[in-house]
Amino acid sequence: MRLFSFLYEKTIKWAAHKHAQWYLAGLSFMEASFFPIPVDVLLAPMVIAKRSAAWRFAAIATITSVAGGVLGYFIGMSAFHIVEPLLHDFGLWNNYQKAQAWFTDWGFWALFVAGFLPIPYKVFTIAAGVVSMSLIPFIAASLIGRAGRFYLVTAIIVIGGEKLERALHKYMDWIAWLVIVAAVLYFVLR
């Protein structure tokens, strides 16, 4: 089944669109506060499609993600009663409780790690608002973590160049199915 290769090729074409950076900005902003699709699914193809703008794309993703994180922070601070049922509905309640415990123990470092790792950053931005983390350390941790992640993804693609692009294209279906199997196993076995 070449489903993911087909989607990959479509995403590469879409990533080369003249308004793609605006789509990246919107996705980055929404993903940091409420949207479930990770930024990397658009950032990576955009860097592949237009390497000359790679670092600008990483900057756009970083800045708009942090801005979206601030929205998540204020959602947690002022509207958690509205968000709480959604966390339950989307199966993120346990993640939210873990995030809250991390904030109690680690504060700045919890948010930095959440910004860098491929875990639901939005859960941490909302939790930071709920526990009223200071805004300046929140922004600093978000900026460092998100920049670290997006610039690392960009650097890997820029350094890997054509060879990485060919390998991704060749093995995209295998990679995608392995990720899906790993995710299913994670949710079943936890």
Q: What is the pLDDT of residues 40-81, one digit of tens each?
A: 888 888 898 888 999 999 999 999 999 999 999 999 899 888
Local mean pLDDT, 10-residue blocks, the chain (190 residues): 66 80 92 82 86 94 96 91 85 82 80 80 86 91 94 92 77 71 70
**DSSP letter (8 states) at residue 117:** S
Measure the CA–CA gap between 79 and 27, rounded to whole angstroms.
22
* Number of alpha helices (DSSP H) and beta strands (DSSP E) in the chain: 9, 0
Query: Please, how many CA atoms are within 13 Å of residue 58, restricted to the half-sphere of its CB?
Result: 23
pLDDT at residue 137 in the model: 93
Taking residue 132's Cβ as centre, other Cβ atoms within 10 Å add up to 12
> In residues, how long is the chain?
190
Nearest to 76 by CA among 125, 36, 145: 125
Q: Where are the domains of the chain?
A: 3-189
Nearest to 47 by CA among 35, 39, 57: 57
